[in-house]
Amino acid sequence: MPMSRCLPGCRCRLSKVLGHTERERAAREPPFFSPIDNRTVKPYEFSSMKIRSVRHRGLKRFIEDDDGRGIKPELINRARNVLAVLISAQDMDEVSGPPGWRIHKLTGDRAGTWSISVSGNWRITFDLDGAEIVNLDIEDYH
Protein backbone atom coordinates (compact mmCIF):
# COMPACT_ATOMS: atom_id res chain seq x y z
CA MET A 1 0.00 0.00 0.00
CA PRO A 2 1.37 3.48 -0.89
CA MET A 3 1.92 5.89 1.97
CA SER A 4 -0.20 9.03 1.52
CA ARG A 5 -1.96 11.61 3.62
CA CYS A 6 -5.72 11.31 3.93
CA LEU A 7 -6.46 15.06 3.74
CA PRO A 8 -4.41 18.21 3.36
CA GLY A 9 -3.20 19.16 6.82
CA CYS A 10 -3.94 15.75 8.36
CA ARG A 11 -0.98 14.30 10.24
CA CYS A 12 -2.05 10.66 10.06
CA ARG A 13 -1.20 8.25 7.27
CA LEU A 14 -3.53 5.75 5.66
CA SER A 15 -6.84 6.94 7.00
CA LYS A 16 -8.42 3.55 6.41
CA VAL A 17 -6.06 2.00 8.91
CA LEU A 18 -6.74 4.70 11.49
CA GLY A 19 -10.47 4.65 10.81
CA HIS A 20 -11.36 8.26 9.94
CA THR A 21 -15.11 8.56 9.54
CA GLU A 22 -16.83 10.72 6.93
CA ARG A 23 -17.86 13.18 9.67
CA GLU A 24 -14.23 13.61 10.78
CA ARG A 25 -13.13 14.18 7.19
CA ALA A 26 -15.88 16.75 6.63
CA ALA A 27 -14.83 18.58 9.79
CA ARG A 28 -11.24 18.85 8.49
CA GLU A 29 -12.11 20.05 4.96
CA PRO A 30 -12.24 23.78 4.31
CA PRO A 31 -15.75 25.24 3.88
CA PHE A 32 -17.14 25.54 0.36
CA PHE A 33 -17.44 29.07 -0.96
CA SER A 34 -19.66 29.83 -3.93
CA PRO A 35 -18.09 31.81 -6.78
CA ILE A 36 -18.70 35.55 -6.91
CA ASP A 37 -21.20 36.59 -9.54
CA ASN A 38 -22.50 39.91 -10.83
CA ARG A 39 -25.24 39.99 -8.22
CA THR A 40 -22.67 40.02 -5.42
CA VAL A 41 -20.03 42.34 -6.84
CA LYS A 42 -20.38 44.89 -9.62
CA PRO A 43 -17.88 44.32 -12.44
CA TYR A 44 -14.95 46.74 -12.56
CA GLU A 45 -14.95 48.82 -15.70
CA PHE A 46 -11.75 50.43 -16.90
CA SER A 47 -11.68 52.92 -19.71
CA SER A 48 -8.48 54.28 -21.14
CA MET A 49 -7.33 56.41 -24.02
CA LYS A 50 -7.12 54.50 -27.28
CA ILE A 51 -4.63 55.08 -30.08
CA ARG A 52 -6.55 55.68 -33.29
CA SER A 53 -3.81 56.75 -35.70
CA VAL A 54 0.00 56.69 -35.79
CA ARG A 55 1.97 58.81 -38.24
CA HIS A 56 5.47 57.38 -37.71
CA ARG A 57 5.88 54.00 -39.39
CA GLY A 58 8.51 52.74 -36.93
CA LEU A 59 6.38 53.78 -33.95
CA LYS A 60 3.38 51.98 -35.44
CA ARG A 61 5.44 48.80 -35.87
CA PHE A 62 6.69 49.20 -32.28
CA ILE A 63 3.14 49.50 -30.88
CA GLU A 64 1.63 46.68 -32.93
CA ASP A 65 4.46 44.13 -33.03
CA ASP A 66 6.89 45.29 -30.31
CA ASP A 67 9.47 45.66 -33.08
CA GLY A 68 11.78 48.63 -32.49
CA ARG A 69 13.57 48.62 -35.87
CA GLY A 70 12.15 51.99 -36.91
CA ILE A 71 13.13 53.77 -33.70
CA LYS A 72 16.59 54.67 -32.41
CA PRO A 73 17.69 52.02 -29.87
CA GLU A 74 18.35 54.59 -27.15
CA LEU A 75 14.73 55.84 -27.40
CA ILE A 76 12.92 52.49 -27.17
CA ASN A 77 12.67 52.11 -23.38
CA ARG A 78 11.66 55.72 -22.80
CA ALA A 79 9.09 55.55 -25.62
CA ARG A 80 7.67 52.32 -24.15
CA ASN A 81 7.23 54.02 -20.76
CA VAL A 82 5.54 57.08 -22.28
CA LEU A 83 3.17 54.92 -24.36
CA ALA A 84 2.28 52.79 -21.33
CA VAL A 85 1.30 55.90 -19.36
CA LEU A 86 -0.72 57.29 -22.27
CA ILE A 87 -2.62 54.08 -22.86
CA SER A 88 -3.41 53.46 -19.19
CA ALA A 89 -4.67 57.01 -18.50
CA GLN A 90 -8.35 57.90 -18.89
CA ASP A 91 -7.57 61.47 -19.95
CA MET A 92 -4.65 63.90 -20.01
CA ASP A 93 -5.28 64.91 -16.40
CA GLU A 94 -4.07 61.44 -15.37
CA VAL A 95 -0.93 61.54 -17.51
CA SER A 96 2.04 62.24 -15.30
CA GLY A 97 5.67 61.36 -15.38
CA PRO A 98 9.06 62.55 -14.23
CA PRO A 99 9.89 66.21 -14.77
CA GLY A 100 12.19 65.23 -17.65
CA TRP A 101 9.17 64.27 -19.76
CA ARG A 102 8.10 67.95 -19.96
CA ILE A 103 4.44 67.18 -20.77
CA HIS A 104 2.88 70.25 -22.36
CA LYS A 105 0.59 71.54 -25.10
CA LEU A 106 2.24 73.20 -28.04
CA THR A 107 1.38 76.75 -29.12
CA GLY A 108 1.58 78.68 -32.35
CA ASP A 109 0.88 76.84 -35.60
CA ARG A 110 0.69 73.49 -33.71
CA ALA A 111 -1.65 74.70 -30.97
CA GLY A 112 -3.56 71.88 -29.34
CA THR A 113 -0.90 69.23 -30.02
CA TRP A 114 0.53 67.55 -26.93
CA SER A 115 4.26 66.91 -26.56
CA ILE A 116 6.17 64.57 -24.25
CA SER A 117 9.97 64.60 -24.28
CA VAL A 118 11.62 61.24 -24.86
CA SER A 119 15.29 62.19 -25.00
CA GLY A 120 17.23 65.27 -26.12
CA ASN A 121 15.42 66.72 -29.13
CA TRP A 122 13.16 63.68 -29.58
CA ARG A 123 9.49 64.09 -28.62
CA ILE A 124 6.33 62.04 -28.81
CA THR A 125 3.61 64.31 -30.15
CA PHE A 126 -0.09 63.65 -30.58
CA ASP A 127 -3.51 65.24 -30.79
CA LEU A 128 -6.57 64.29 -28.78
CA ASP A 129 -10.00 63.63 -30.22
CA GLY A 130 -12.17 63.00 -27.19
CA ALA A 131 -10.54 60.07 -25.39
CA GLU A 132 -8.62 58.94 -28.48
CA ILE A 133 -5.02 59.66 -29.41
CA VAL A 134 -4.64 60.69 -33.05
CA ASN A 135 -1.60 61.58 -35.16
CA LEU A 136 0.81 59.91 -32.71
CA ASP A 137 4.34 60.64 -33.85
CA ILE A 138 7.92 60.52 -32.63
CA GLU A 139 9.91 63.39 -34.06
CA ASP A 140 13.10 65.39 -33.78
CA TYR A 141 12.19 68.96 -32.91
CA HIS A 142 15.30 70.62 -34.33
CA distances from 71 to 65, 67, 81, 106, 126 (A): 13, 9, 14, 23, 17
The DSSP bridge pattern shows strands 114-119 and 122-129 to be antiparallel
Catalytic residue among 20, 56, 104, 142: 142
Residue 142 known to be catalytic: yes
Instruction: Report DSSP letters for 36-80, one per residue.
Output: P-TTTSPPP-----EE--B--HHHHHHHHH---TTS-GGGHHHHH
**Cα dihedral sign, 83-86-89-94:** positive
Give me the active site residues, please.
142
